[in-house]
Amino acid sequence: SLNGTSGQVIKGKVPMVKPDLSGPFGAILKWANEIKLLGVRANADTPKDAATAFGFGACGIGLCRTEHMFFEGDRIDAVREMILAKDEAGRKVALKKILPYQKKDFDGIFH
C-alpha cells in the first residue's frame, strides 16, 4: 500500500478506517454546502457506492458504469457465459441471469 500523503510504501494490508465528516473538515463542507451554486454528482456503480456518495453530500449520480456491477461473485460468471455463448439462444439464457442483478442494483442506486 502507499500513503498518498507521505509517499511511504507500506508492506502488507493496511487497516482501514471509515471516513468521518465531522470536526473542522465537516464544518468547512457544511459552510460550502450553504453557499454552493453547483451540485456535485458522484460516480457510483453499486448501491454501496451510491450510499457512500450521498453520505458525503453528493446531490445525485452522474455516471453509473453498469459493467462494474458484474465484477464480483457469481455475477462475473453470468457475464462470461453471455460473452462465450455459441449462439443467440445461449446469450439470452445468460442475460436472464444478469438482468435481476442489474435491476436490484439500479433500484438500490436510484431509490
pLDDT of residue 62: 92
pLDDT of residue 21: 82
Check residue 55 and give left, alpha or beta (phi > 0: left; psi -120 to 50: alpha): alpha
pLDDT-derived band at 72 (thresholds 50, 70, 90) equals confident
pLDDT of residue 71: 85
The whole-chain average pLDDT of the chain stands at 90
pLDDT-derived band at 57 (thresholds 50, 70, 90) equals confident
pLDDT of residue 77: 92
Q: How far apart are CA 4 and CA 8, in angstroms?
A: 8
**Residues 40/57/21/69 CA torsion (nearest 10 deg):** -90
pTM of the model: 0.67
Instruction: For residue 104, give the C-alpha cell.
Output: 436490484
How many helices (DSSP H) and strands (DSSP E) are in the chain? 4, 2
Q: For residue 63, what are the β-bridge partners?
A: 43
